[in-house]
Amino acid sequence: MRLRFKPKDIYNGKRMAPTTLQDAVLQKRAQRAAARPAPGPHNWLQRRVQGLQIVEVPAFRKLPWLVHGFSTRTGGRSSFGGTNVLNLGFTDWDSRRNVLENRQLLQQALRAEKFSLVALKQIHSDLVRLITTAPEHPVCADAVVTDRPGLLLGVQTADCVPILLVDAKKRAVAAIHAGWRGTLRRIAEKAVGEMRMHFGSKPGDILAAIGPAIGGCCYEVGVDIAANFLSQFADAPEFFDEFRTGDEPNPIQWLNQMPPGHQPPPKNVFLDLHKANASQLRNAGLLARNILVSNLCTACRPDLLFSYRREGAISGRLLACIGIRP
């Protein structure tokens, strides 16, 4: 009987030789997951205030005129699984009153009670909007930029990547929502372009914080998405664990002597949106040392973060915020 490798054997300390190419792929993924550091923000801060837990970037905290923060699920008025959570998005399972109160709690925790929260109607696009006054209705876009004090730019996520940009010299900021579609359409790069056009920002002066999102350890996508990324980015293979576009020949039948078609290769690959957006920001001219990346994975941390991939429609929403103090 042919032995099959199971990823869990790595966690049990066993070392079983792979018997097929597919087994080797699974083994490599399991070894990488086992060697991955315990989830937590690398050189980032987690600040507890009024029952909430806020993730912050030390480099941003050095700017006294700047307010920013990435929310977590801790605290709040919403009831989820018998506990109170900080759901910041309007969902079917939560009341509008709870969400509005949760947003007030977050602004208090950020010491931004007097700011006007700029809410977005996110559509997984590459639309970037300039905000000069508090809008009366949600802005239809996936990124916003401003240099006006008193506006709190916010993007909602539950696996997608939240990105906050700040130009300390021009005192301009941006908030970006980047799922795989927005990343493919270069929304982060376009947001940098909008800051250059409207505020005269120089990419070398911009700091970027790429916040908690689903990691390359958990974000499984089809090979068609890999093919789309390859069509747009020369370094696309670096964003995936085992880069495949579906066009590669299948060598497995030669390794296990099974007839062609009986042992198809794994259909999906794992995409690292953190890497993809960091690469995009470097291509936009940002210095590598100014791109700060959280290693918090939403799917790995059900105790701290919401994840749509893990929880489905009942997932709450996180909010990443940035603004300029009056």
pTM: 0.84
Same domain, 201 and 159: yes
104 falls within a domain:
yes
Note whether residue 287 is domain-resident: no
Number of domains in the chain: 2
Give yes or no for a contact between 303 and 55, defined as CB atoms under 8 angstroms apart.
no
Q: 232 lies in a domain? A: no
Same domain, 149 and 4: no
Q: Is 57 found in the same domain as 30? A: no
Task: Verify that 122 and 89 share a domain, yes or no.
Answer: yes
Identify the residue whose tokens are 């949600």.
138
- Does residue 57 share a domain with residue 173? yes
Please tell me whether residues 22 and 91 are part of one structural domain.
no
Based on the fold, state whether residues 85 and 164 are members of the same structural domain: yes
In a domain, residue 262? The reply is no
Residue 89, C-beta contacts closer than 8 angstroms, at least 6 positions apart: 99, 156, 158, 316, 317, 319
Tens place of pLDDT for every residue, the chain, 326 residues? Answer: 333 333 333 333 444 444 554 555 455 555 554 444 444 445 799 999 999 999 999 999 999 999 999 999 999 999 988 899 999 999 999 999 999 999 999 999 999 999 999 989 999 999 999 999 999 999 999 999 999 999 999 999 999 999 999 999 999 999 999 999 999 999 999 999 999 999 999 999 999 999 999 999 999 999 999 999 999 999 999 999 988 776 655 444 444 455 555 555 557 899 999 999 999 999 999 999 999 999 999 999 999 999 999 999 999 999 999 999 99
**What is the CATH classification number for the domain harbouring 146?**
3.60.140.10
Question: What is the domain range of residue 14?
Answer: 1-35
Whether 123 and 155 share a structural domain: yes
Q: Are residues 17 and 114 in the same domain?
A: no
Q: What is the DSSP string of 259-285?
A: PTTSSPPPSEEEB-HHHHHHHHHHHTT
Q: Does one domain contain both 12 and 142?
A: no
